[in-house]
Amino acid sequence: MPVIAIVVALLVSAVVLLVAGYDPLEAYPIMWKGAFSDQRTFSEVLLKATPLILLGAGLSLTFRCGIVNLGAEGQFYAGSVVATLIGINFANLPSYLLIPLVLLGGALSGALWAMLAGYLKVRFNASEVVTTIMLNYVAIIFTGYLVTGPMQESKVGFPQTAQIGEAAWLPRFLPPTRLHIGFLIALLVALLIYILLFKTSTGYGIRAVGINAEAARYAGINVRRNILLAMAISGGAAGLGGAIEVTGLTYRLFQMISPGYGFDAIAVSLLVNNNPIATVLSGILFGALRSGSEMMQMNLKVPSVLVSAIQGIVILSVVAFSVYRDKILKWFTER
């Protein structure tokens, strides 16, 4: 069914393209080529998907727990900051120690940043919709301060940190592509979160809170503990995403280290009905759309910003299809 929805979304976007004077029959094949034409382009799609999968899988856990966590963006920043700090200051450690340390540090800081919002929710009943948005801004602005101040490479240089030690760089396993083990980690994390959520009693508790917190409380489930746990794991995944972005691709921290992964990831998770393992698919879809739109701009001058609209339309049509699935099914079966 999602496939039909995607086709519909592409049709709607085709109309937009046509109205603006571009030929979709020319544009879409180029988009396809930009994402799937060879090993290199597809590896880039997977690289783009990596943070989306990590953040999306993490978010699915909080959404399943009934928490409207809009804070993955900030948690990603928190993770990338701490990963960079460790990567620079412990550059002398051997890789087998440094890489786990960097990733762990990133995940931990993301988890703590998310738990702050979780704590404010359970302790002060502060709406996470607001606190996570605020904490996003705090993290982004603080990163801006760090890279223009204390962590800046040189005093009058550009807003970027020094490079992290080479020992912290994630190994690449498919040369000459840039594909690094961060992608595999993302797959593993998505799988682990899936198992946690659907195959363990902890996961059952988290879902029970999401379905009806009041009922869960009566059933003896510790609601506060589950909310904190869900936030911690979700933030941990996002922080890990930030750490992987730095250690896998950029090797240093920049002011705008995320192009909005945290917000795209909301859609990545919701698109597959908050199923952690399925975020692999929706993450790759979004990665492909973005890669393809870059190629579309290079070749046809179609503004690449259009990709956001296409993604939005994909979500809306998936939503509509999932609701009307039964009716559509009936329509087909009755004939």
Partner 1 sequence: MKRLLTLTTVILLVAMVSACTPAATEAPTDVEAPAATEALAATEVPAATEAPAAEEDTFKVGLLSPGPVNDQGWNQTAYDGLVLMEQELGAEISYVELGESPSDFEKAFRDYASQGYDMVLGHGFQFQDSAVKVAAEYPDTKFFVSSSYYYEGTNVYGINTRSDQAYYLLGVIAGSYGDKGGYVGGVEIPPIKEGEVGFINGGLSVNPNWSVSVAYLGNWTDVAAAKEAALSMIDEGATFVTPNANIAGNGVYQAAVEKDVWALGSFGDQTAQAPENIVASYVLNYGRGLVNIAREVKEGTFQGDSNILLGVESPDVMYISYNEGAKEVVSQEVRDKVAAAIEGLVSGEIDAMAGYEQ
Partner 2 sequence: MDILLLVSIAQSILAATWRMATPLIYTAIGEIFTERSGVINIGLEGIMLIGALSGYVVTSYTDSLFLGISSAVLSGIISGLLFSLFTVTIKANQIVVGAAFNMIGTGLTGFIYRTLYSGGSTDKLVLDTFPSIKIPLLSDIPFFGEILFQQNLMVYATVVLVPLAAFILSKTAFGLYVKAVGEHPKAADTSGINVTLIRYISTTIGATLAALGGAYLSMAHANQFVEGIATGRGFIALAVVVFGRWSPWGAMGASLLFGVFYALQLRLQAMSGNVIPYQFLQVLPYLATLIVLVSLKGRGAEPKALGKPYKA
Stretch that binds partner 1, among 26-34, 96-104, 207-215, 222-230 (CB under 8 A): 26-34
Q: Does 219 bind partner 1 (CB under 8 A)?
A: no
Q: Which amino acid is residue 67, in one-letter code?
A: I
Stretch that binds partner 1, among 32-40, 86-94, 114-122, 272-280 (CB under 8 A): 32-40
Q: Using the rule CB under 8 A, which residue among 47, 88, 197, 266 binds partner 2?
A: 266
Q: Using the rule CB under 8 A, which residue among 94, 96, 125, 332 binds partner 2?
A: 125
Q: Does 63 bind partner 2 (CB under 8 A)?
A: yes
Q: Which residues contact 3 (CB under 8 A, 6 or more apart)?
A: none
* DSSP string over 272-334: TTT-GGGHHHHHHHHHHHHHHHHHHHHHH---TTHHHHHHHHHHHHHHHHHHHHHHHHHHHHT
Chain-centre distance for alpha carbon 170 = 19
Q: Using the rule CB under 8 A, which residue among 136, 247, 258, 275 binds partner 1?
A: 258
Q: Which residues contact 82 (CB under 8 A, 6 or more apart)?
A: 105, 106, 108, 109, 239, 243
Q: Does 153 bind partner 1 (CB under 8 A)?
A: no
Q: Does 259 bind partner 2 (CB under 8 A)?
A: no
Cα separation, 241 vs 248, in Å, equals: 10
Closer CB to partner 1, 160 or 279, in the complex: 160
Neighbouring C-alpha atoms within 13 Å toward the C-beta of 71: 37
Q: Does 308 bind partner 2 (CB under 8 A)?
A: yes
Contact residues for partner 2 (CB under 8 A)? Answer: 16, 20-21, 63, 68, 70, 120, 124-127, 129-131, 133-135, 137-138, 141-142, 144-145, 148-149, 263-264, 266-267, 270-271, 303, 305-313, 315-316, 319-320, 322-324
